[in-house]
Amino acid sequence: MTTRRSLIAGLLCVWSACGSATTAIVNDAQPGGVIEIVDGALRVKDLSVDSSVATRDLTTAPDSQGADDAGSLANTCGNGLLDRGESCDTAISAGKGACPKGCTKGKCASEAKLLNAGTCQARCVETKITQCKNNDGCCPTGCSSQNDSDCASSSGTCGNGVLDPGERCDIAINTNKLAGFCSPCRASASCMKARTIDPGTCQQRCEEDPITSCSNDDGCCPAGCNATNDNDCCSGCRSPLNGGGYTCEAGNQTSACGLGGGDCKTCTTTAVCKQAACSNGQCGEQTAANGTSCTTNNKGGRCQGGQCCTGCLTGNYQCLAGLSKTQCGKQGQTCVECKRKNECYVPACVGGTCDQIYLGEGATCKGFPNFSICVFGKCCRKPPGLPPICT
């Protein structure tokens, strides 16, 4: 076998040098055989049989007859050498001639496939990117910054802080006061949705799409939607139902306050002589109506002009303490004037209530022109030397 391989190696040198010449060499490794090079083809001729049957081309796949000889020559895969016709050799572990075990696609390849894995014909085949497409990392031949953002980036100008030709903006410009700022996208109308195209590149731009689906809290009530499937269609506020879902309320009531389909709020207040109020969907306060009961400093009263009056109110609705005999009253009631019952009493205002103070039995009173005294709460005439005369 060693002799045969040495002979074949020599023949290959002769073969490559001889071109189309015809050379015949006795094959002593195979008795009765002759190896020929005819028109650049290496052939084995068995002299013991008809040459038309026994002669075959060793540069092609061997047939069933003479397979041992052809296999000896052609089966070089795995010998650790990169032989003619091999893409690699499976016995070479690393470096030049090593067979790939996996493939990594290049910058402008959409995919990379490993063909003929485990053989000396293993190789990687890439599918090249040919279409102009933003943000795929490739700028194919024929593309430009006008139709492929990667071409703008590859030019080396994107990110230099200057709006260069072919750029829509520059990512290094960080203030909207300068031309070329990559502005964030905002919808121009409530029923439009903005989206950013090619974000983070110098080809960033904005596009808008109409909102057509019924969705809560997007600020839009598209055609065909209503308050039951889109809270944006509820101009007031949503009031939850026990069984699920909600009802749409007017949104301007103290117990159901809100706008724009938000959840209803209940407005409350603890301020004295103020009432909770809902205005334009916002909770607030308003002055309580005059006469509304109130309490301040643990004293009851009634509201007047936004103040809790625990005394009394005059005719022009001024709040007084209500503790004088001429302006007596409490809890926001109308002030009254305490009047004398008779000449034996003095009017007084006690705790906001009119009262009478008795002068006492035998006290002098002025009920008559002559001398008079108080007897049992009455002003009686008292003639000298005679008992009191009470009428």
pLDDT mean over 275-293? 94
pLDDT mean over 75-97? 86
Q: Choose the final residue of a domain: 56, 74, 92.
A: 74
8 Å CB contact between 341 and 355 = no
Q: Is the pLDDT of residue 347 over 70?
A: yes
Q: Is the pLDDT of residue 273 over 50?
A: yes
Cα–Cα distance for residue pair 301/273, rounded to 1 Å:
10
Q: What is the mean pLDDT of the chain?
A: 79
Q: Comparing 255 with 231, which gets the higher pLDDT? A: 255
Q: Is the pLDDT of residue 321 over 70?
A: yes
204-218 tens-digit pLDDT:
999 999 999 998 878
Listed in sequence order, the DSSP H helices in 223-377 are none
Q: Is the pLDDT of residue 41 over 50?
A: no
Instruction: Give pLDDT, residue 360.
Output: 94
Listed in sequence order, the DSSP H helices in the chain are 2-18, 51-54, 67-74, 149-154
Q: Comparing 74 with 124, which gets the higher pLDDT? A: 124
Instruction: Give pLDDT, residue 44.
Output: 45
308 & 280 share domain: no
- Give the SS3 label for residue 231: helix
pLDDT mean over 228-238? 85
Cβ atoms within 10 Å, residue 231 = 22
Instruction: Give pLDDT, residue 144.
Output: 67
Instruction: Give pLDDT, residue 36.
Output: 47
Q: Please check whether residue 136 lies inside any domain of the structure.
A: no
Q: At what angle do helices 2-18 and 67-74 cross, to 10 degrees?
A: 70
Instruction: With CA atoms as reference, report the closest residue to 4 among 53, 91, 99, 68.
Output: 68
pLDDT mean over 127-151? 77
Q: Comparing 73 with 287, which gets the higher pLDDT? A: 287
Instruction: Give pLDDT, residue 270.
Output: 92
8 Å CB contact between 168 and 196 = no
Name the pLDDT band for 155 (thresholds 50, 70, 90).
low
Report residue 337 as tokens.
Answer: 């004037």
Q: Comparing 209 with 74, which gets the higher pLDDT? A: 209
pLDDT above 70 covers a percentage of the chain that reads 78
Name the pLDDT band for 145 (thresholds 50, 70, 90).
low
Q: Please check whether residue 52 lies inside any domain of the structure.
A: yes
Cα–Cα distance for residue pair 300/375, rounded to 1 Å:
40
307 & 338 share domain: yes
Domain that holds residue 300: 293-358
Q: Please check whether residue 188 lies inside any domain of the structure.
A: no
Most confident of 60-74, 112-126, 138-152: 112-126
Give one DSSP letter per residue of 159-172, joined into a string: TSSS--TT-S--TT
8 Å CB contact between 23 and 10 = no
Q: Is the pLDDT of residue 278 over 80?
A: yes
The mean-pLDDT minimum among 20-34, 110-124, 304-318, 344-358 falls in 20-34
278 & 263 share domain: yes
Q: Comparing 58 with 350, which gets the higher pLDDT? A: 350
Q: What are phi and psi of 356, to 5 degrees?
A: -125, 130
Q: Please check whether residue 132 lies inside any domain of the structure.
A: no
Q: Please check whether residue 105 lies inside any domain of the structure.
A: no
8 Å CB contact between 90 and 99 = yes
Name the pLDDT band for 242 (thresholds 50, 70, 90).
confident
Q: Comparing 280 with 17, which gets the higher pLDDT? A: 280
Listed in sequence order, the DSSP H helices in 51-201 are 51-54, 67-74, 149-154
For the chain, what is the domain count? 4
280 & 332 share domain: no
387 & 368 share domain: yes
Strands 205-210 and 192-197: antiparallel
8 Å CB contact between 197 and 205 = yes
Q: Choose the final residue of a domain: 271, 287, 303.
A: 287
Q: Please check whether residue 387 lies inside any domain of the structure.
A: yes
Q: Please check whether residue 226 lies inside any domain of the structure.
A: yes
8 Å CB contact between 123 and 113 = no
pLDDT mean over 88-116? 87
Most confident of 151-160, 163-172, 303-312: 303-312
Specify the pTM. Answer: 0.39
Q: Choose the final residue of a domain: 74, 92, 121.
A: 74
- Which residues have CB under 8 Å from 54's CB, separation 6+? 44, 45, 46, 48, 65, 66
pLDDT mean over 128-144? 79
Q: Comparing 118 with 134, which gets the higher pLDDT? A: 118
Strands 312-313 and 319-320: antiparallel
Q: Please check whether residue 82 lies inside any domain of the structure.
A: no
Instruction: Give pLDDT, residue 323.
Output: 93
Q: With residue 285 as reference, give the H or E element that holds it.
A: strand 282-287
Q: Is the pLDDT of residue 46 over 70?
A: no
254 & 311 share domain: no
Q: With residue 248 as reference, give the H or E element that holds it.
A: strand 246-249
Chain-centroid distance, C-alpha 213: 18
Report residue 178 as tokens.
Answer: 């300068």
283 & 307 share domain: no
Most confident of 11-25, 26-40, 228-242: 228-242
